[in-house]
Amino acid sequence: MMNDYQRIAKAIDFLSQHVEQQPTLEQVAAHVHLSAFHFQRLFCQWAGISPKRFLQVITLEKAKSQVSAQRSLLDISGSVGLSSSSRLYDHFVSLEAVTPGEFKKGGLDLQINYGLHMTPFGELLIAQTPRGICKAVFTETDGKDAEILRLQAQWPNAVIVEDHRHTEMTASAICRLLRGVTPAEKMPLHVAGSNFQVAVWRALLAIAPGDSQTYSGIAQHIQTPNSTRAVANAIAANPVALLIPCHRVIRKSGALGGYRWGEQRKQVIRFYETAARHAAPDCA
């Protein structure tokens, strides 16, 4: 039996896949095995807007995707890091790199707590050191056991502890942030990467929610204009899904481009984020 998170994920996916058909409330509700009344209430609870409003937003986004991509290309220098709507991420998500000494010790004397949490986009594994979130990845692609093994391999001398309650507040804060709700406190990230990777990940934080940037635009922003391929590789290695918003980066053509956790998931996240931030709330 599907839980509420899974129903919303399935509904959002259905809406994004059937934009051209403009499905009715009853059709979407039937797809997730709920009455129209109960589905409307549940969707409003999780997305903050009605299914009808959500469909209107993603229909508009589909129609203007090519135009938006071209605008970004014409205004690369001005659009990265200067939009006022990006300040929510700039102010409330801080990124701190693992020091060489910490990396060399491999997590010695360090405890990392992790938990598995359902989101409208799938199951998310969140891992935290005392200094911040070090990993947030969707588990459906490779499985949660494989992701935990990767975490242990990255921090071979750390104590890895499953503690759902420890990461539950973080999971809730991530979902609220995607909906444009200001977090109660700053959300620190504690990530391991090369200097170049960290520079790319910092640049992603400056892309406004609901907006897009190209791989070449990111390369320009970090003042390495010939590094587009390396930028793409750094984005693919993003250790913290959603909070380091690699889903906001697209190709010059306007195509979505790849995504570590699946292109369809990338589209759904983008639609959700755009709807939450640019559509007037219409849920009582």
Active-site amino acid positions? 246
User: Taking Cα atoms as reference points, which of 2, 230, 219, 28 lies closest to residue 122?
Assistant: 2
Q: How far apart are CA 83 and CA 93, in angstroms?
A: 16
Question: Are 189 and 132 in contact, with CB atoms under 8 Å apart?
Answer: yes
How far is Cα of residue 143 from the mean position of the Cα atoms in its chain?
18
Please name the residues in contact with 184: beta carbons below 8 A apart, sequence gap of 6 or more.
Answer: 173
Q: How far apart are CA 242 and CA 249, in angstroms?
A: 12
Residues paired with 187 in a beta bridge: 93
